[in-house]
């Protein structure tokens, strides 16, 4: 089994974790969906695909590389639209409309069977695609985004406040105070940067006060006297 995905899972919603698979963190860009297998494994780790289906898909991808590549390209296209929704959907109607068009494009073409299945971690809704083997892979992601729009949640989606970090997340704090993708990482770095800035802004130490004029001269200078 290949190494597990290192994509961040900090967003609180599937669609936002999906957006973060195009990751910019500490100023470095990482594509976590670098090939179809990486995407299938990401879906598996997110709980969207069971192991059997994931392995089946990876085999099919080897048999049909063009179909798998086209599905991956489509996934990245949807991801771009969802990033725009995450970053500007609360304020820009155009960003929202473009995302809704992409969401509907995926919903409309997905045919298959919905099921409810009992698993090791409780019940999960699953979807077995009919027809195109790679079709429907985006369904859980776009449904998560659709749920966010229905619930009016998009206004609470934020982008990490750290420079060089493009991770988005749902701010679920009661007073809407979450500022970082993770406190342990970007939050602490920002705190350290603020501390350094304060140190640098601090005025240089004042020179030692000159002795008052009335003070008697030192024994050394007195000895030099007449």
Chain contacts with Zn ion (rule: CB under 5 A): 160, 162, 165, 167, 181, 186
DSSP conformation letters of the chain: -PPPP-----SSSHHHHHHTTEEEETTEEEES--SHHHHHHHHHHTTSS-HHHHHHHHHHHHH-HHHHHHHHHHHHHHHHHHHHHHHHTTT-HHHHHHHHHHHHHHHHH--EEEEEEEETTEEEEEEEE-SSTTTTTTHHHHHHHHHHHHTT-GGGEEE-SSTT---EEE--STTS---SS-IIIIIHHHHHHHHHHHHHHSPPPPPPPPPPTTSPPPHHHHHT--
User: Considering the complex, what minimum distance in angstroms separates the CB of residue 176 from Zn ion?
Assistant: 17
User: Considering the complex, what minimum distance in angstroms separates the CB of residue 99 from Zn ion?
Assistant: 22
Whichever of 86 and 162 has its CB closer to Zn ion, that residue is 162
Whichever of 44 and 158 has its CB closer to Zn ion, that residue is 158
Whichever of 49 and 160 has its CB closer to Zn ion, that residue is 160
User: Considering the complex, what minimum distance in angstroms separates the CB of residue 15 from Zn ion?
Assistant: 18
Whichever of 28 and 215 has its CB closer to Zn ion, that residue is 28
User: Considering the complex, what minimum distance in angstroms separates the CB of residue 186 from Zn ion?
Assistant: 3
User: Considering the complex, what minimum distance in angstroms separates the CB of residue 28 from Zn ion?
Assistant: 12
Whichever of 119 and 164 has its CB closer to Zn ion, that residue is 164
């Amino acid at each position: 089994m290949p190494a597990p995905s290192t994509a961040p899972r900090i967003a609180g919603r599937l669609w936002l974790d999906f957006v973060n698979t195009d990751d910019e963190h500490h100023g470095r860009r990482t594509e976590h969906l670098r090939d179809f297998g990486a995407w299938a494994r990401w879906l598996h780790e997110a709980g969207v695909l069971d192991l059997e289906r994931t392995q089946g898909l990876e085999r099919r991808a080897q048999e049909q590389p063009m179909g798998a590549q086209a599905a991956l390209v489509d996934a990245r296209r949807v991801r771009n639209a969802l990033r725009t929704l995450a970053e500007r959907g609360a304020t820009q109607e155009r960003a929202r409309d473009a995302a809704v068009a992409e969401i509907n494009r995926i919903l409309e073409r997905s045919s298959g069977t919905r099921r409810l299945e009992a698993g090791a971690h409780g019940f999960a809704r699953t979807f077995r695609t009919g027809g195109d083997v790679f079709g429907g892979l985006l369904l859980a992601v776009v449904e998560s985004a659709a749920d966010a729009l229905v619930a009016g949640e998009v206004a609470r989606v934020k982008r990490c406040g750290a420079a060089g970090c493009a991770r988005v997340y749902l701010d679920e704090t009661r007073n809407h105070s979450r500022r970082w993708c993770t406190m342990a990482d970007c939050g602490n770095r920002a705190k350290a940067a603020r501390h350094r800035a304060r140190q640098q802004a601090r005025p240089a130490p004042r020179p030692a006060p000159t002795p008052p004029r009335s003070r008697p001269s030192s024994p050394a200078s007195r000895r030099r006297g007449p």
